[in-house]
Chain A
Amino acid sequence: MSRIATTFSQLHAADRKALIPFITAGDPGPDRTVPLMHALVAGGADIIELGVPFSDPMADGPTIQRSSERALKFGVGLKDVLAMTAEFRKTNATTPVVLMGYANPIEAMGWPGFCAAAKAAGVDGVLTVDYPPEESADFAAQCEAAGLDNIYLLAPTTPEVRVAAITRLARGFVYYVSLKGVTGAANLDLVEVAQRVAMIRAGAGLPVGVGFGIRDAETARQVAQVADAVVIGSRIVQEIENSTPETMQDNVRNFVAGVRTALDT
């Protein structure tokens, strides 16, 4: 069983929900990423979503755009992100790592090279914002052959028949984008999220994660009542932005721990 499937089945057995924090690899500097990944786990992360910096992050709001720009100042590329994952794996063999990013860095590395290198580094899943199923069937097949879960997004605008088609292709879990907008935007409609997630869960044989716009422990708790996993990104990146190098790891761990407590009570 894959690390992602194992994680969800253990959580399910314990009647708990998954907490999936996001950070951008290389933000605020390449040497900070592995310690921050461990801090996320120490705070109670079940799966880590690791952002691959990209020059043109079209689906991201200002906070994650800035994190990408900070990482790119150090020239952090996909190869570096894989090296960071491999470093993390030396001392953590259980927490799944999902890469989240855009198509072009993967295109530049080439699909076979990427799949082999990602698997070797200990990556578990890949979420590529601008690879809808129509354009990524061959890529998805190569991921599957390499033992990587290809994770797809579903949106508030996705028609029901398409939801069914995508959940059939999805591996690991499906990621429901909780609002029309970019990452970090405000004002979730929790009632709408609950309805949509219920519909998706009814048809999906996989866990459903919800992300985009979850900014505090209370919202996370409410979303977790209807979903299997909660993804928090921009809010954690803000914690990194607002910390000094000395306080960063503690602040990130404490924030994640606060959300963890809210999810578990």
Chain B
Amino acid sequence: MQMYDLPDTRGHFGPYGGVFVAETLMAALDELRQEYEAARTDPDFQAEFRHELRHYVGRPSPIYHARRWSEKLGGAQIYLKREDLNHTGAHKINNTIGQALLARRMGKKRVIAETGAGQHGVASATVAARYGMECVVYMGAEDIKRQSPNVYRMKLLGATVVGVESGSKTLKDALNEAMRDWVTNVESTFYILGTAAGPHPYPMLVRDFQCVIGEECKVQMAEMLGRQPDAVIACVGGGSNAIGIFHPYIAIDGVRLIGVEAGGDGIASGRHAAPLSAGTPGVLHGFRSYLMQDANGQVIETHSVSAGLDYPGVGPEHSYLKDSGRAEYVSVNDDEALAAFHDLCRYEGIIPALESSHALAHAAKMAPTMGKDRILLVNLSGRGDKDINTVARLSGIEL
């Protein structure tokens, strides 16, 4: 692998990324870029970030050998990076702490966020409470129905949750509405974007904050096994947990990087959320990347059992990694993800998020085809407590 030093100074990963926003936001993004450049090399900022990850989030998160499930599958050994054990139950908090520290550094007292499954909303509400900031979270009306426990969690943490009724009433519409708030309140407000997408510098800074996942894995795998995994597997919606675990491995030859998109009812059905598997490049939400769109360039409504993957675009660095061939992208259907969800509950005593269950499902497909000395590292990006209503409903059970 060649030296990898992306994005360029204007946020491009090859043809992807960039800054495709209305003029009103250009100055704010420029300010954020400069502030982040300063913070990135400021030892005090980095020390505080590390301190918060250790003492507030509970890092490093462990790597766990899913021994019984691996035995049942009868092939490669599956190891889980336990981001589900973080405070707030997902990887999202790594990023929200980083961005909240940036917001404080910039003197912004009000933060806004978009959320799909509610994990990023909860992580944003959490850090807003932690640092004493006002927090408004935009969430699609459809997602509010699917994820009511997380809605209440955000309210408990003092955030205002605004339901978004436009478009498909899911994550993409919440993002539109957050952008509209930001353009209106740009001088007082910091936008805590939840995934490694959006206009530059967001894809870069979210990646950098999430890279703690992969950095820890490299050390932990060496300590536990004296070697690195044969493949690293992560689910991809916007793609922040995936880029966080992939990025530190990009330069390490022999480690396959596999992103798993939401196949919904199957790619052939058209009802899915898999732009890397079945989309074409386009511009949405401030950046160029693979996108689910029709021939007129209108964004297509997506479908996934998992609200957190229900997004028609994907972070620009994943588009670059796909084209370059360094990472592979596959999809897993709703029913396969649900089967993996139940397997992990029963064999390992871990309730995984439906998002992460997509990565687990792909590991379950791969493992039996590999030798028992092979190692798959799955990013278990979140815990599944928030999903029990959805899973129960799909099983015909009313809670």
Q: Chain B contacts of A39 at CB under 8 A?
A: none
**Please, which residues of chain B bring their CB within 8 A of the CB of A107?**
281-283, 288, 297
Q: Which of A90-98, A157-165, A256-264 is found at the contact surface with chain B?
A: A157-165
Q: Is the CB of A56 within 8 A of B184?
A: no
Say if the beta carbon of A204 comes within 8 Å of chain B. Answer: no
Q: Is the CB of B176 within 8 A of A58?
A: yes
User: A11-19, A141-149, A180-188: which one contacts chain B?
Assistant: A180-188
- Residues 64-82 of A at the B interface (beta carbon under 8 Å): 65, 69, 72, 75, 77-79
Q: Which of A115-123, A126-134, A190-198, A221-229 contacts B (4 or more CB under 8 A)?
A: A126-134
Q: Is the C-beta of A45 less than 8 angstroms from some C-beta in chain B?
A: no
Decide yes or no whether B38 CB sits under 8 A from chain A.
no
Q: Quick one: CB contact mask for A98-116 with B, threshold 8 Å, 1 for yes?
A: 0000111111110000000
For chain B, give the interface size range.
Answer: 35 or more
CB-CB contacts below 8 Å: B280-296 with A? 281-286, 288, 291, 293, 295-296
Closest A residue to B27 by CB, please name it: A157
Interface string of B258-270 (1 = CB under 8 A from A): 0000000000000
* A61 near B20: Cβ-Cβ < 8 Å: no
Partner of B27, one of A57, A78, A158: A158
Contact A104 B284 (CB under 8 A): yes
CB distance from A57 to the nearest CB of B (A): 8
A56/B167 contact (C-beta < 8 A), A130-B20, A152-B23 known: yes
Q: Closest Cβ of chain A: how far from B12's Cβ, in Å?
A: 9
Which of A58, A77, A182 touches B285 (beta carbons < 8 Å)?
Answer: A58
Query: Does chain A have a CB within 8 A of B19?
Result: yes
A126 to B336, CA, bound (A): 46
Measured CB to CB, the nearest residue on chain B to A129 is B22
Q: Judge if A54 is at the interface, Cβ distance under 8 Å.
A: yes
A247 interface hit (Cβ, 8 Å) = no
Instruction: Say if the beta carbon of A59 comes within 8 Å of chain B.
Output: yes
Chain A nearest CB, measured from B24 CB (Å): 4
CA distance A202 to B80 in the complex (A): 62
Task: Tell me the B182-238 residues at the A interface (CB within 8 Å).
Answer: 183-187
CB contact under 8 A between A185 and B184, given known A104-B283, A134-B19, A158-B23: yes
CB of A177 within 8 Å of the partner chain: yes
Tell me whether B166 and A65 are in contact (CB under 8 A). Answer: yes
Number of A-B contacts defined by CB within 8 Å: 125
Q: Is there contact, CB below 8 Å, between B172 and A56?
A: yes
Is B10 located at the chain interface by the 8 A CB criterion?
yes
Residues of A within 8 Å of B172, CB to CB, are 56
Neighbouring B residues of A54 by C-beta, 8 Å:
297-298
Question: B392 at interface (Cβ–Cβ under 8 A)?
Answer: no
Contact A135 B18 (CB under 8 A): yes
User: What's the nearest-Cβ distance from chain A to residue B330, in Å?
Assistant: 26
How far is A109 from B284 in the complex, measured between Cα atoms in Å? 15
Q: A180-B183, A181-B183 are in contact. Are A130 and B293 (CB under 8 A)?
A: no
Contacts of A56 in B (CB 8 A): 167, 172-173, 176, 284-285, 299
- A31-58 with Cβ < 8 A to chain B: 53-58
Q: Contact between B186 and A55 (Cβ–Cβ < 8 Å)? A: no
Q: Is the CB of B293 within 8 A of A108?
A: yes
Known: A103-B283, A105-B297. A134 touches B180 (CB 8 A): no
Q: Among B185, B285, B295, which residue has its beta carbon within 8 angstroms of that of A108?
A: B295
Interface membership of A155, Cβ < 8 A: yes
- Interface digits, B150-194 against A, CB 8 Å rule (1 contact, 0 not)? 000000000000000011000011001001100111110000000
Contact with B along A154-179 (1 / 0, CB 8 A): 11111100100010000000000100
CB-nearest residue of chain B to A153:
B23
A17 CA to B288 CA, complexed, in Å: 38
Q: Give the docked Cα–Cα distance between A106 and B284 (Å).
A: 12
Report chain B residues within 8 Å CB of A155.
22-24, 26-27
Chain A minimum-CB-distance residue to B20: A130
Task: Specify which of A55, A159, A177 is in contact with B24 (CB 8 Å cutoff).
Answer: A177
* B146 CB, nearest partner CB in chain A, Å: 21
Q: What are the residues of chain A within 8 A of B25 when measuring CB–CB?
A: 157
Contact residues in B for A65 (Cβ distance below 8 Å)? 166
Q: Are the C-beta atoms of A158 and B282 separated by less than 8 Å?
A: no
For A59, the chain B residues whose CB sits under 8 A away are 22, 24, 180, 183
> Closest CB of chain B to A25's CB: distance in Å?
12
The answer to whether A132 and B166 have CB atoms under 8 Å apart is: no
User: Which residues of chain A are within 8 angstroms of B295 by Cβ–Cβ distance?
Assistant: 77, 108
Point out the residues of chain A lying under 8 angstroms from B28, CB to CB.
157
> Which of chain A's residues have a CB closer than 8 A to the CB of B327?
none
A102 to chain B, nearest CB (A): 8
Contact in complex: B297, A104 (CB < 8 Å):
yes
Q: Is B10 within 8 A of A134, CB to CB?
A: yes
Tell me if A79 and B19 are in contact (CB < 8 A).
Answer: no
**Set of chain B residues within 8 Å of A69, measured between Cβ atoms:** 166-167
Chosen A-B contacts, 23 in total, with CB atoms closer than 8 Å, are: A56-B167, A58-B21, A77-B295, A77-B296, A103-B20, A107-B288, A130-B20, A132-B20, A132-B21, A134-B18, A134-B19, A135-B18, A135-B19, A135-B20, A153-B23, A153-B24, A155-B24, A155-B27, A157-B24, A159-B27, A180-B24, A180-B186, A182-B184
Other A-B pairs, 14, CB within 8 Å; known A104-B282, A104-B293, A153-B23: A57-B176, A58-B285, A59-B183, A69-B166, A69-B167, A77-B295, A79-B296, A103-B20, A104-B299, A108-B293, A130-B20, A157-B187, A177-B24, A180-B184
The 8 A-B pairs at the shortest CB distance, nearest first, are namely A108-B297, A77-B296, A105-B297, A155-B24, A181-B184, A153-B23, A103-B283, A104-B297
Write the residues of chain A forming the contact surface with B, with a CB cutoff of 8 angstroms: 53-59, 61-62, 65, 69, 72, 75, 77-79, 102-109, 129-132, 134-135, 152-159, 162, 166, 177, 180-182, 185
